[in-house]
A and B are shown apart, each in its own frame.
Chain A
Amino acid sequence: MIMSVENLSMVFGGLRAVDDVSFHVNKGEVVALIGPNGAGKTTVFNCVTGLYVPTHGDVFVYDNENVTEHKLRGMTPDQITRARLARTFQNIRLFDEMTVLENVMVGFHVKLKSRLFDAIIRTSLHKKEEKSVLADAYSVLEYFQLEEHANDVARSLPYGYRRRLEIARAYATDPILLLLDEPAAGLNPSETEELSKLIIRLQKEITILLIEHDMSMVMKLADRIYVMDHGQLLAHGSPDEIKNDKDVISAYLGEPIDA
């Protein structure tokens, strides 16, 4: 198991955005978190990644490579990224005025050690890291097939590429778990197909938790699915199980009409 969320609750004033949600993600899986709009999915993400402090509950991450366990509650977002959790955002948050390459280079921030002093004096550490980060960032761009746009300003990229860049940047932080928030939103069918292929490729190295509305993509990619509605966990299981689950169907489509 790589992450476990236990009894997570997030209350805003009178609103229970997330209500006692528990789930887990195993290493190498693609787990999908689905549900109607307003179900609380992004709020769960925000709690896990430290943008909100949950009202109740805990999140644990198990990093087998380094044999460490992290309790994420109370950690700041940057600390959580250092704990090897990376995420993308529903409304893409790129560094618009920086180039594609530079965006990915920022992704490597957690892996580098050069500091202000090193930069000013140009220590050998600095020079070595600058050289390697350039090469590494470029490799990441190649992996994501964005290398042709390396020197383009992020703002100028077409929408589909912007999504890809955001994932590439998150990938650069070398996470063990990648959280994708509606990566297919706004993509046309062929772009969605490419995204699916990308996720399958990523799955070989990284565990993935994604929020998505595109059902065909979810059904194709997910090993397991959790369904949320009104802040609560409604159902969970394999794609087939979820497809035929009565509660899920009525949550999405309303009560079934007698045919």
Chain B
Amino acid sequence: MSLEYFLQVFVSGFTRGSIYALIALGYTMVYGIIQLINFAHGEIYMIGAFSLLILIGVLSMLNLPVLALILIAVLVSILYSAGYGFTIERLAYRQIRNAQRLSLLISAIGMSMFLQNYVLLAQTSSFLYFPKFLEDIPLFQNTNILNASQAVIFSATALIMILLTVFVRYTRTGKAMRALSQDRTMAVLVGVPTNRTISITFIIGSITAAIGGGLVSAQIGQIHFYMGFIAGIKAFVAAVLGGIGNIPGAVLGSFILGLTESFGTTLISSDYEDVFAFIILILILIVKPSGLLGKNRSEKV
């Protein structure tokens, strides 16, 4: 394998990892705070992509300069995804927050099915073409190894990581999130605004997922109502790999998964692409269920 080829595969894997990271963040934050595996999260990613597509389409009728058009569309689609995330939590999860795990899980599965079919019925079942607006960015030289859209994806992901880390560590809401994820009863007792914090968690997660959805669609050039499902599962695997509930873990797990998939499909086989994720999942759950960076949540005896 030549160096150039190797780097291409590496960059490709890294890009995958970035997208997974953007989605995995949402999973890990929500799990950390209410111990729910939000199956519907992948659908937010998908809805982000669809919203962006639709907004670009509508706004392009207004003859705006391209940059402004893209920016406005991105911003509005992010708002919409945040709205969906907020609504889902309010509608389905808030009521049963203290119920059994199984109930929450099934509710999330139901939500996921509902959203998938909602988009399917409202839009279309076929693959939709998506404008690759990231490809021609001024001042960027496309090389064989790295192209413009990949560079944008990296920078966006890195920026979001930094912002999020700062947010969680230094802001009041970030502290509230950490408190709730460690000991909910106590956090409530000392006056942490539970409902609001949880809503904010969902909103942040939805925003990052939507950004991921928009970016990946711009890179690949097409979207489909089912795209959230498989991406969601893989991002989820990444979050578990890194330690669910742990933000740096989600990022680490995502990159490992992305690179594994990239090298795996190139070197071994591309039919079994999805299997890599599952095998990693099984291995990590057997060897270290709390994930690479996770801490063991042990039960007090």
Asked if A and B bind, the verdict is: yes
Q: In whole angstroms, what is the CA distance A89 to B301 when docked?
A: 7
- B297: interface (CB < 8 Å): no
Contact residues of B between 274 and 301, Cβ < 8 Å to A = 300-301
Contact residues of A between 26 and 48, Cβ < 8 Å to B = 42, 46
- A11: interface (CB < 8 Å): no
Q: In whole angstroms, what is the CA distance A211 to B301 when docked?
A: 14
Count A-side interface residues using an 8 Å CB cutoff: 5
Q: In whole angstroms, what is the CA distance A91 to B300 when docked?
A: 9
> What chain A residues lie within 8 Å of B300 (beta carbons)?
91
Q: In whole angstroms, what is the CA distance A42 to B111 when docked?
A: 44
Q: In whole angstroms, what is the CA distance A42 to B300 when docked?
A: 11
Q: In whole angstroms, what is the CA distance A46 to B299 when docked?
A: 13
> What chain B residues lie within 8 Å of A42 (beta carbons)?
301
Consensus secondary structure, chain A interface:
loop
- A51: interface (CB < 8 Å): yes
Nearest CB of chain B from residue A166's CB, rounded to whole Å = 14
User: Beta-carbon contacts of A38-82 to B below 8 Å, as 1s and 0s?
Assistant: 000010001000010000000000000000000000000000000
Nearest CB of chain B from residue A219's CB, rounded to whole Å = 28
Nearest CB of chain A from residue B41's CB, rounded to whole Å = 31
Q: In whole angstroms, what is the CA distance A57 to B92 when docked?
A: 52
> What chain B residues lie within 8 Å of A91 (beta carbons)?
300
Q: In whole angstroms, what is the CA distance A89 to B299 when docked?
A: 13
Q: In whole angstroms, what is the CA distance A91 to B301 when docked?
A: 8
> What chain B residues lie within 8 Å of A89 (beta carbons)?
301
Closest chain B residue to A49, Cβ basis: B301
Nearest CB of chain B from residue A155's CB, rounded to whole Å = 13
Closest chain B residue to A91, Cβ basis: B300
Closest chain A residue to B300, Cβ basis: A91
Q: In whole angstroms, what is the CA distance A89 to B300 when docked?
A: 10
Nearest CB of chain B from residue A243's CB, rounded to whole Å = 31
Contact residues of B between 91 and 110, Cβ < 8 Å to A = none
Nearest CB of chain B from residue A200's CB, rounded to whole Å = 28
Q: What are 5 residue pairs bridging A and B, where the CB atoms are less than 8 Å apart in the complex?
A: A42-B301, A46-B301, A51-B301, A89-B301, A91-B300
When A and B form their complex, which 5 residue pairs have the shortest distance between CB atoms, in order from nearest? A51-B301, A46-B301, A89-B301, A91-B300, A42-B301
